[in-house]
Structure 1
Amino acid sequence: MAENEISLFDISWVDVLFQRVFPYLSLKDCYNFRCVSKSAQELVDNYFFVMKNVNLSSYRSFNATSFKVLAVNCHNVRYINLSHCKWLTDDLLQQLFLNNNHMTYLNLSGCSETLTSVCLQPVIVLCKDLKYLKLQNCFWLTEGCMEALALHHHNIEEVDLMFCWRLNDSCVSNLMRSCCRLRLVNLSFIFALTDITMIVIGECCKLLEHLNIKGCWRVTDRGISAVAVGCRFLKTLFIKECKFVTEHSLGIIRGRVYIDMPRQVTMDFFDFIAQMPSPPLPIMEYIE
C-alpha cells in the first residue's frame, strides 16, 4: 500500500466506524472481521467496548470461547438477551455482568442447563438500573436469590418468572413490595402462589398494566378481587387454569380489562326450568 493511501483503520473509529458502519454488521460479521489481522482484532474489540446491545438469542452455534471475547471486552452494554443459550456457565455470566453494571434489560429465559443462582450475584448487587428482568423457565432460581433481588432493586418495571417452580408467596411478595413501579408481571405456573401474593400486588403495584397468573391454581376470588380493586390501570389478566377463580371476582373488572377466560354463564334453578322445552301432551289426549 502506498504511503498516501488511506485504509479502513485510518477512518475515525468512534465517530464514523462505530456510528455508521458497525451497527449494520452482525456479530458473526464482527467475529469474522476480527480474525483478519491484529489491527482488525483491535478495532472490533474497541467496538465491543462501546456496544450497547448483546443479543445471542438467535445464535444457536455460539459457544463459550466466543462468548469470553464479549465478556472481557464489553463494558457499556445496556441490553442483554441470552435466552436459550444452554452452554452458559456461572463464571461466563458473572464476568459479563461485572463489566456491565448499567444494564437495564436482562433475559436469561430457558438457560436452565448449567446455571445456578450464583450467576445473578453481580446483577443483584451492582446493576441498580435494571428495569426488565426475564427469567422464564429458569428452574435454578431460588427463594434466597429472589429475596436478595427484592432487597437491592426498586426500579424493575417488568418481571417474567414463568415456570420458576422453586418460588413461593414469601419471596415473590417481597419483590412486589420492593418494586412498586411494576407494569408487567408474569407469575404463570408458579404453583405455590396463593391469594397472599395477589393481595400484595393489589396493595403495592398500583401502576400494574399486565398480569399473568395462568396455572396458579391456588389463587381464588379473594386474591383477584384485591387485584381488581388495587390495580386501576390493569389492561390484561391471564387467569386460565385457575379453577377457584369465578365470575364473582372477574365481573368487577370485565369490560375494562382483557381477560383470557370467557364469561362464565350461571343459571339458577328456576331459569333452567323456564328454558326447558314443554313436555309432549299425553297420548290419551289425541284419542277421540
Structure 2
Amino acid sequence: MSKVFGFAGENDFCPGGPIYTNHKEQNHFLSIRDVYFPLRKRSRISAPFVFTEERFEQKKQASIEVLPDECLFEILRRLPGGDERSACACVSKRWLSLLSNICKDELCSQNESAKTNTQVKSEVEDEGIEGDGYLSRSLEGKKATDIRLAAIAVGTASRGGLGKLFIRGSNSSQGVTKVGLRAIARGCPSLKVLSLWNLLSVGDEGLSEIANGCHKIEKLDLSHCPAITDKGLLAIAKSCPNLTDLVIESCTNIGNEGLQAVGQHCTHLKSISIKNCPAIGDQGIAALVSSASNVLTRVKLQALNVTDVSLAVVGHYGKEVADLVLTSLSNVSERGFWVMGNGQGLKKLKSMTVTSCVGLTDTGLEAVGKGCPNLKQLYLHKCPFLSDNGLVSFAKSAVSLESLLLEECHRITQIGFFGSLLNCGANLKAASLVNCLGIKDLKLDLPELSPCSSLRSLSIRNCPGFGDGSLALVGKLCPQLQNVELSGLQGVTDAGFLPVLENCEAGLVKVNLSGCVNLSDKVVSVMTEQHGWTLEVLNLDGCRRITDSSLVAIAENCFLLSDLDVSKCATTDSGIAAMARSNQLNLQVLSVSGCSMISDKSFPDLVKLGQTLLGLNVQHCNAIRSSTVDVLVERLWRFPITGNLLEVLVSSWPPFPENTVAKFWFQLPFLSVVSGLLLEASQLFLSLYSAWKSFGKCKVSAETVDEMAAKTEN
C-alpha cells in the first residue's frame, strides 16, 4: 500500500498507465472506498470507474426463466386447469414446448395440487383432459409447423379433445417434423382421424409417436410422405387396433411388409386405398385382403406394380367387398379379370370402377357380370379393348345393374350401347355416354322389342357422332325418361329431339341441352306444352337459336320450373319482361350470362323476378352498366330471405369493380327481414359466412372472414 500513498511527484504516476504491473493486485485497489487523487489531466477512457461496491456490482433481475426446464416442467404440470395451461402456453415458445410435452398421466389434478401447495387456489375447474374428440383442425401450407401443432395440442386438450387433424404441408424448411407430431401424440389421445399430406420431414419416428400416444386412430391418410417406411406403418398397426380406413398414396418406401402388418393386427379394417406406391406388390395386397376378408368392404388399387395374382385374391377373398376401384393397373391382363369374376367371392359387390386398364376385355367383363350378381353400378373409363360384344354379354348377366357409365370407350358403337339397354333387365335406371368417339348414327332395323321401361336418366356428353338417328331410337326404347342430358351434341336438331319429347310418357323433370347449337324455339315450345307440368330444371346454355319466343312459352307453361339457364342465347329485354309478367312462374335460379341483347331496360323486370330468386347470373351482359348492377344489388337484398342465400354473380365481368360482390355480401347482414322478424346482424353474418365458404365468390380473404366470424361469435 506504500506505493499508493508514498509518491514523490508527478513522475511517479504514468498518465494512462496501470497502477500495478501485476493485474492480480488490482483487487486491493478496488476494495478502497474513498481515494484521493490530485487534480491532473488524465487520458480519456471509454467508461467511468465506479469504486463503490453497490454500484460496481451489476444487479441481476430475478426471473422464472432462469429455472431449468426440469423445474419449469414440474411447475407447469401442476397448473389447476386447461385454461391456465392455455394461458401459460402464450408466454413463450419455451413454455409452449414444455406444455405440449406433458402427457395426461403426468398432469397433477386440481386436488393433488391443492395438497402439495395449499396456497394455490383456482376457481376454474378442469373440464377433463381426454374428451370425446369432436374437435377438428386443419393446417395447410406455411401454417403447417411444429409450433402450431403444439398450440393445437395444448388448446384442445381441455376443450373436448381433438378428434380430426388434417395437415397439408409444403416444401418449406420449417415444416412439420416429429417434434410437432410428438406434441399431438402427448396432448391429443382422443385423436381418431389423421391425414398427413406432403410432409417431407415426417418419418417413422413421428408416426411412431402418434402410434404410442393416439391408440384410438380409426382413419389414417398418408400421402406424399417419402420418409415413412414399413417401420412406421408397423408401429401404427400394432398400437392402433381400431384402424378402419387406410389411405396410402405416393409413399415410395412403404412396401409389402407394412401391409402384412396391417392385415395381421388391424382386424376392423374396412377400407383400403393404395395409389402410386412402387414398393407394394402382389405379396402385400394378397396378405392384406386375405387377412381382412370378413370386414373389408372397399378396395381401391391405383398405379401399382400388381399382376393377375392380386385380382385373383380379391375375387376369392373379397367376401364383404361392396366397392371396388381399379385404376391404371398396367400389369393386369385379361386373365386377371377373368379369374376375379370366376372367384365366386364378390357376391356382395355393388359398385365397380375400372379406369385405364388394358386387361379389361370382353371376356373379363362377361366373367365379372356372371360372378357379381348384386352389381348395381359399373363405371368404365378408357378401356380401349372393350367392344360391343363384351358390353352386351355383361348386360345379359348383370341382372341387378342400375347405373352404367362409359367414358372414352371408343370401340363401343351404337349397336353395343342400345344392345346393353335392351338386355340389362328391369333394374337399369341411369345410362351415360361420355366422349365415346365410336358412337355414330347407323340405320338399324330393330325388331319389335320390349322397351327399356326402367330407364329414368340418360346422359350423352361430347359424343360428336350421336345425332338425330340415335335420338330417334332413344325415343322408341326409353318411354319413361325423366332426366335427359344432351351436352355438346352439335349434330342434334329439332327433327331428332322431337320424337323423344313425343314418346316420353312420364314427363321430363330435368333437361340439359347445353351446346346443342342446332336446336330452335320449336323444341322449347313442344317441350313446355307437353312437359311443362313436370319440368323443374332447363339448361339451354349456348343454344344460339333460342330467342324470346322460348321465354314466352316457358312463362306460360312451366309453373314448376325453378332453375333456368339461357346463357349465350339470343334472348332480349322482351323475353325477360315476358317472364316477369307471369304470375305463376317461381324461378329460384336464373342465368342470362353472355346475353348481349339484355340491357338496362330489364332492370325493373329483374327486380320483380328477384322476389323469388335465390341466384342470378348476369356475367358478360355488356349492355348492362355497372351502376345498374349496383342498384340491382341494393334492391334485391331487401327482399325476404327464407333459409337460402341470394347470390348475384358479377365478379368476373371486367366492367364491374372487383368489390361489387363483396359489397353485396357484407351489406346483407345489417338488414334482413325473415318471416317478419328482424334478425340480429351476428346471426345472419354467421349464416352468410358458411355460405361464403361454399360459394367462394367473395373477394375478401379467408383470414379476414375467419377473424370477423370469430369476433361475431364472441
Question: Which residue of structure 2 aligns with residue 282 of structure 1?
Answer: none
Q: Of the candidates 83, 87, 97, which is equivalent to residue 223 of structure 2?
A: 83
More strand by share: 2
User: Cα distance, 1:68 vs. partner?
Assistant: 4.2
Change (3 A) 1:245 1:119: same
TM-score, normalising length: structure 1: 0.75
Question: Which residue of structure 1 aligns with residue 316 of structure 2?
Answer: 177
Give matches, 1:153-172, under 5 Å.
153-154=292-293, 155-165=295-305, 167-172=306-311
Question: Which residue of structure 2 aligns with residue 253 of structure 1?
Answer: 395
User: Per-residue displacement from partner, 1:164-197 (whole Å, max 9, x unpaired)?
Assistant: 12x1112321132112111111222212323333
Change (3 A) 1:46 1:6: farther
Residues 1:264 and 2:397 aligned together: no
* 8 Å contact kept, 1:53–1:77: yes
* 8 Å contact kept, 1:74–1:96: no
In structure 1, give the amino acid aligned to 2:122.
E
Question: Which residue of structure 1 aligns with residue 122 of structure 2?
Answer: 5
Change (3 A) 1:24 1:204: closer
Residues 1:54 and 2:200 aligned together: no
Q: Distance in 1 between matches of 2:128 and 2:183?
A: 11
The structure with higher relative contact order (CA 8 Å, sep 6+) is 1
* 8 Å contact kept, 2:314–2:340: no
Question: Which residue of structure 1 aligns with residue 384 of structure 2?
Answer: 243
Question: Which residue of structure 2 aligns with residue 23 of structure 1?
Answer: 135
User: Per-residue displacement from partner, 1:218-267 (whole Å, max 9, x unpaired)?
Assistant: 33211111222332333433333333211222134398332223651259
Q: Distance in 1 between matches of 2:288 and 2:236?
A: 18
Question: Which residue of structure 2 aligns with residue 217 of structure 1?
Answer: 358
Give matches, 1:51-200, under 5 Å.
51-57=191-197, 60=199, 63-64=202-203, 66-112=206-252, 114-154=253-293, 155-165=295-305, 167-200=306-339
Q: Distance in 2 between matches of 1:248 and 1:125?
A: 42
Q: Of the candidates 194, 206, 209, which is equivalent to residue 347 of structure 2?
A: 206
Question: Which residue of structure 2 aligns with residue 283 of structure 1?
Answer: none
User: Cα distance, 1:133 vs. partner?
Assistant: 0.4
Question: Which residue of structure 1 aligns with residue 695 of structure 2?
Answer: none
Q: Distance in 2 between matches of 1:259 and 1:35?
A: 49
Secondary structure in 2 aligned to 1:130?
coil
Q: Distance in 1 between matches of 2:386 and 2:365?
A: 8
Question: Which residue of structure 1 aligns with residue 700 of structure 2?
Answer: none
Residues 1:228 and 2:369 aligned together: yes
In structure 1, give the amino acid aligned to 2:288.
L
Change (3 A) 1:156 1:50: same
In structure 2, give the amino acid aligned to 1:79.
K
* 8 Å contact kept, 2:255–2:284: no
Secondary structure in 2 aligned to 1:253?
helix
In structure 2, give the amino acid aligned to 1:23.
L
Change (3 A) 1:25 1:142: closer
> Alpha carbon RMSD of aligned pairs, Å?
3.5
* 8 Å contact kept, 2:301–2:327: yes
Percent identity, please.
Answer: 20
* 8 Å contact kept, 1:198–1:227: yes
Q: Distance in 1 between matches of 2:404 and 2:443?
A: 29
Change (3 A) 1:100 1:134: same
User: Cα distance, 1:7 vs. partner?
Assistant: 4.9
In structure 2, give the amino acid aligned to 1:32.
A
In structure 1, give the amino acid aligned to 2:413.
Q
* 8 Å contact kept, 1:80–1:105: yes
Residues 1:32 and 2:151 aligned together: yes
Structure 1: unaligned runs, 5 residues or longer: 276-288
Q: Distance in 2 between matches of 1:226 and 1:54?
A: 39
User: Cα distance, 1:102 vs. partner?
Assistant: 2.1
Q: Distance in 2 between matches of 1:240 and 1:11?
A: 53
Secondary structure in 1 aligned to 2:216?
coil
Secondary structure in 2 aligned to 1:118?
helix
Deviates more, 1:258-267 or 1:124-133: 258-267
Count of aligned positions: 260
Q: Distance in 1 between matches of 2:371 and 2:364?
A: 11
User: Cα distance, 1:153 vs. partner?
Assistant: 1.9
In structure 2, give the amino acid aligned to 1:204.
G
